[in-house]
Homo-oligomer: A and B are copies of this chain.
Amino acid sequence: MSGGVDPEAGNFRNALGAFATGVTIVTTRDGDGRDVGLTASSFNSVSLSPPMVLWSLAKDAASLPAFLTATHFAVHILAADQEDLSLRFAVRGAEKFAGLALERGLAEVPLLPQCTARFQCRTTFRYEGGDHMIFVGTVEQFEHTERPPLVFHGGGYALAVRKAVAEPAGQAEPDSSFSQDFLIYLLARAHFQLFLLLRRDLERHGLSEDQWFVLSILAVSDNRAAAELDGLLWPTGKRATYELLASLTAAGFAQLHGGYDPQARVTLTDKGRDAVIELVAAAKAAEEHAERSLGSAETHVLKRALRAIIRETDPGAPTLLTPLHPE
């Protein structure tokens, strides 16, 4: 899409949205001692020495008079989990500061907690910028954490995911073009290798992966019908056959209340619960091992993407009864 500037400014706004930014809340205190603040993505760095930053404020903003007279302001770079705070400070006239654990900074400017970074600034220049004023501040104090930041892009919130997670330059494997490309291969391999990390723990309890899945489902919500268990299990490629349930009963992990009846209830025994608790810890440890080269944003995106794939490819309910009997 190409063209001159649209007087409606809608297209221009969309084009500006192509530039990803962090999200900040800028705060100050007005002449009457009232706290003032708003969400802004127009922040950026200006100078290292002296340390300076800038942001822009609409000339028709209710908070303009406060910022024009304030000697200081604070810029808070929001963390990925502070979307609510971003939305709260984006609305005019709301009770923005109510209930927040505020601190006080230079010139009593309100400081918000739990941000990725905070800059306390002395207002140094105010510049003309069309329908906005540009505020340049000299940074007098700042704080910085490693919290992943909230990102704004294309009109919505986003996460910043590192582009280059160190990948070996040339895959040693000659089948790399197969393994790199095929999602089904990547899923199969990641699944099996993660399972290998758990296998020793499962073997110690004499459990197969199938049996462990059944116990895990029961640990979350006990006393299910056999058919219901099968329905939950089968999208993983496993089946809650009578044989599997009977084997869990025989080993003392679960109890099958009834015989070859899809409605027979299955409950966890104390032994089963103890085993699950231990295996959940082992599974979490295996996951942490698997994810150790991933950042928190990558892990979040990975799990969300897998859930999205599961939704998109949901095969619906299984054919009940028949598959409960082994073929």
Binding site for B on A (CB under 8 A): 1-5, 7, 9, 11-16, 18-22, 24, 41-54, 56, 77, 80, 83, 116-117, 119, 125, 127-132, 134, 136, 138-145, 149-151, 153-154, 156-165, 167-168, 173-175, 177-180, 182-198, 213, 216-217, 219-221, 232, 235-238, 283, 286-287, 289-294, 297-299, 301-315
A308 to chain B, nearest CB (A): 5
List 30 A-B pairs, Cβ < 8 Å.
A3-B141, A5-B140, A9-B49, A18-B144, A50-B130, A51-B130, A54-B54, A54-B134, A130-B138, A149-B153, A158-B161, A159-B163, A161-B161, A161-B297, A165-B308, A173-B232, A174-B232, A175-B232, A177-B220, A178-B217, A182-B283, A184-B191, A192-B236, A193-B235, A193-B310, A193-B313, A194-B309, A195-B237, A291-B309, A301-B301
B161, B185, B306: the one within 8 Å of A187 (CB): B306
Give A238 to B195 CA distance when docked, in angstroms: 13
The complex places the Cα of A180 from the Cα of B297 at a distance, in Å, of 16
Contacts of A167 in B (CB 8 A): 304, 307-308
Q: Within 8 Å CB of A291, what residues of B?
A: 183, 308-309, 312
Residues of B within 8 A of A187 (CB): 187, 190-191, 194, 306
Q: What is the CB-to-nearest-CB distance from A323 to chain B, in angstroms, rounded to a whole number?
A: 14
B20–A160 touching, CB < 8 Å: yes
* A130:B47 contact, CB within 8 angstroms: yes
Contacts of A213 in B (CB 8 A): 185, 188
Contacting residues, chain B, for A50 (C-beta < 8 A)? 130-131
Contacts of A190 on B, CB cut-off 8 Å?
A: 187, 306, 309-310, 313
Docked-complex contact B80 and A56, CB < 8 angstroms = no
- Partner of A191 from the list B24, B168, B191 (CB cut-off 8 Å) is B191
Residues of chain B within 8 A of A219, CB atoms compared: 178
CA distance A217 to B42 in the complex (A): 51
